[in-house]
Amino acid sequence: MSDSQPVSTPDPGELTLLDLEPFDDIPFVINVHVGSAVRSVQEILELDIGDTIPLDRLAHQNVQLTIEGIVIGTAEVVGSEAGSSIQVSQIGGTET
């Protein structure tokens, strides 16, 4: 019988920035989920320029930030010189 200890895998919450350094240059697409709406085919076919579609989220509510479908944080949509931007409110477990 062997007295060797099992190899433990670090908890993802315990990873440090140093552990992730080899991945620094990998690009990820951050998606911003503003809201959604359900409409019938007829309602979609009747849409016209200038029509508004109410979403399932209030205008002042934070939006979700996702990478590959995984929520990584929340943000507020803000205006900027470049157009619309987001201001991060919460990322991972850290709230601003």
Which domains does the chain carry? 25-95 (2.30.330.10)
- pTM across the whole model: 0.60
Distance CA 45, CA 67 (A): 31
pLDDT in the model for residue 7: 53
Question: Which of 68, 31, 80, 77 lies closest to 89 in space, CA to CA?
Answer: 77
Per-residue pLDDT, averaged over 84-93, amounts to 86
Residue 18: HSE in the Cβ half-sphere, 13 Å Cα cutoff: 1
Q: Which of 60-64, 82-86, 90-94 has the lowest mean pLDDT?
A: 90-94
Under 8 Å between Cβ of 71 and 90: no
Under 8 Å between Cβ of 73 and 88: yes
